[in-house]
């Protein structure tokens, strides 16, 4: 939970981008929920990355075509939040921005999952579920902090407007966190439909929409899959051989096969067949995000 004081108000007024970034960093560093309590209280996530996007960036219109026609634009979801949750009709929203953040998994967790061939390590499993609880708490508390500082703010994924829709070949949501991170300059997509950031692919991400102007971050990539060696240099494909269910190929990610691994093949992990303590709706897999050159960085070469 963030504690407000006068010094924070001054820092926010002077540089809201820096204030938000430092607040997220501090939350990740200090909150007790960011702890793997079954693993000596190691942090679940390491130092986060933070980026910003202009809410009226034309890219968000594209998302209606490439993600789903019901994908929200930042302005739409914030307006809906104000009207339906806060009961504010016709709010004056001169500017809207997106705050996106990346929570890189602890390097020890990557190492533990790297050793696995058929299903996730216990550390990875706890990172998947306890990590998402932490992520939800972060976005909620950050929105509350910004509201206290006088800015409209909401976390789309934990709002009542968020939904997951069934489409041919899988599922899609009306607020894609990875697409927000792409817009905010934090990384690009990959062969396995992951997202490769400066700190790698093994991460969870989140975002907020705020009713204020924030300086958009640069998008330092030529292409939406530029950080993946398979598209940048026509080589690698290491994630393909990591998948225990044949869900990855040169054609990309087969979501149906992937779900089969998560919900059927790896069901014994939740029953305790591979050791006690696994939690969540499914064990978590993540094999294609570890033991690969993009696990913890933007890969320079496929080593
Ligand atoms: S392992 Fe290689 S091909 Fe697969 S996502 Fe990473 S960089 Fe791309
Ligand atoms: S998450 Fe697991 S099952 Fe899904 S594509 Fe990656 S390795 Fe395959």
Task: Determine the distance separating the centroid of ligand 1 and the alpha carbon of 300, expressed in angstroms.
Answer: 11
Q: Is 293 in the pocket of ligand 1 (CB under 6 A)?
A: yes
227 band by pLDDT with thresholds 50, 70 and 90: very high
Q: Is 236 in the pocket of ligand 1 (CB under 6 A)?
A: yes
Q: Is 290 in the pocket of ligand 2 (CB under 6 A)?
A: no
Given a contact cutoff of 8 angstroms between Cβ atoms, the answer to whether 101 and 48 are in contact is yes
Which residue's CA lies nearest to atom 7 of ligand 2?
243
pLDDT at residue 124 in the model: 98
Nearest to 44 by CA among 141, 131, 135, 120: 131
8 band by pLDDT with thresholds 50, 70 and 90: confident
Q: Is 201 in the pocket of ligand 2 (CB under 6 A)?
A: no
Asked whether the predicted pLDDT for residue 301 surpasses 80, the reply is: no
Closest ligand to the CA of 297: 1
> Average pLDDT of 37-60?
98
> Average pLDDT of 73-79?
97
Asked whether the predicted pLDDT for residue 144 surpasses 60, the reply is: yes
Which residue's CA lies nearest to atom 3 of ligand 2?
258
CA gap 2, 174 in Å, rounded: 29
Q: Is 243 in the pocket of ligand 2 (CB under 6 A)?
A: yes
Q: Which atom of ligand 1 is nearest to the CA of 190?
A: 5
Q: Which atom of ligand 1 is nearest to the CA of 248?
A: 4
Which residue's CA lies nearest to atom 3 of ligand 1?
237
> Average pLDDT of 32-42?
97
Q: Is 238 in the pocket of ligand 1 (CB under 6 A)?
A: yes
Residue 171 CB coordination number (10 Å): 10
In angstroms, the Cα distances linking 254 to 135, 148, 244 are 27, 44, 13
Mean pLDDT of the chain: 95
> Average pLDDT of 28-35?
98
Q: Is 138 in the pocket of ligand 2 (CB under 6 A)?
A: no
In angstroms, the Cα distances linking 78 to 13, 83, 90, 178, 179 are 22, 9, 12, 18, 17
Q: Is 228 in the pocket of ligand 1 (CB under 6 A)?
A: yes
Q: Which atom of ligand 2 is nearest to the CA of 254?
A: 5
For 158-174, the pLDDT digits (tens) are 999 999 998 887 889 99
CA gap 167, 146 in Å, rounded: 35
Q: Which atom of ligand 1 is nearest to the CA of 292?
A: 1
Closest ligand to the CA of 194: 1
For 279-290, the pLDDT digits (tens) are 999 999 999 999
Return the C-alpha torsion angle 238, 288, 112, 131, nearest 10. 150
302 band by pLDDT with thresholds 50, 70 and 90: low
For 187-219, the pLDDT digits (tens) are 999 999 999 999 999 999 999 999 999 999 999
For 102-140, the pLDDT digits (tens) are 999 999 999 999 999 999 999 999 999 999 999 999 999
Pocket test for ligand 1, best of 291, 293, 296, 302 (most atoms within 8 A of CB): 293
192 strand-pairing partners: none
Task: Determine the distance separating the centroid of ligand 1 and the alpha carbon of 192, expressed in angstroms.
Answer: 7
Give the torsion sign (CA, 151, 87, 158, 228).
Answer: negative
Helix (H) or strand (E) holding 7: helix 6-14
pLDDT at residue 91 in the model: 83
CA gap 259, 280 in Å, rounded: 15
pLDDT at residue 4 in the model: 81
> Average pLDDT of 234-263?
95
Paired tokens of 88: 């504010």
Residue 81 CB coordination number (10 Å): 23
**DSSP 3-state of 135:** helix
Asked whether the predicted pLDDT for residue 233 surpasses 90, the reply is: no
Q: Is 288 in the pocket of ligand 2 (CB under 6 A)?
A: yes
Task: Determine the distance separating the centroid of ligand 2 and the alpha carbon of 128, expressed in angstroms.
Answer: 14
Give the torsion sign (CA, 146, 147, 151, 154).
Answer: positive
């Amino acid at each position: 939970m963030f504690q407000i004081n006068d010094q924070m108000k001054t820092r926010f007024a002077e540089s809201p981008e820096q204030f938000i970034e430092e607040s997220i960093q501090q939350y990740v560093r200090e909150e007790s929920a960011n702890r793997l309590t079954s693993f000596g209280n190691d942090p679940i996530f390491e130092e986060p990355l933070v980026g910003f996007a202009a809410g009226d960036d034309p890219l968000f219109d594209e998302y209606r075509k490439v993600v789903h026609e019901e994908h929200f634009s930042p302005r739409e979801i914030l307006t809906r939040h104000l009207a339906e949750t806060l009961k504010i009709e016709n709010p004056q929203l001169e500017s809207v921005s997106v705050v996106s953040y990346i929570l890189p998994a602890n390097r020890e967790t990557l190492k533990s999952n790297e050793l696995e061939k058929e299903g996730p390590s216990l550390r990875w499993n706890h990172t998947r579920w306890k990590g998402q609880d932490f992520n939800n708490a972060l976005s909620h508390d950050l929105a509350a902090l910004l509201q206290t500082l006088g800015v409209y703010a909401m976390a789309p994924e934990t709002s009542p407007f968020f939904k997951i829709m069934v489409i041919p070949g899988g599922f899609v949501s009306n607020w894609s966190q990875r697409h927000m991170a792409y817009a905010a300059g934090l990384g690009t997509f990959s062969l396995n439909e992951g997202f490769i950031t400066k700190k790698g692919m093994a991460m969870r991400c989140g975002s907020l929409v705020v009713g204020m102007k924030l300086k958009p971050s640069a998008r330092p990539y030529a292409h939406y899959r530029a950080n993946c060696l398979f598209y940048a240099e026509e080589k690698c494909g290491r994630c393909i051989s990591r998948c225990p269910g044949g869900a990855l190929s040169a054609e990309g990610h087969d979501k149906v096969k992937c779900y089969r691994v998560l919900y059927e093949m790896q069901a014994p992990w939740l029953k305790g067949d591979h050791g006690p303590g696994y939690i969540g709706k499914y064990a978590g897999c993540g094999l294609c995000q570890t033991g690969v050159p993009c696990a913890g960085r933007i890969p320079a070469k496929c080593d």
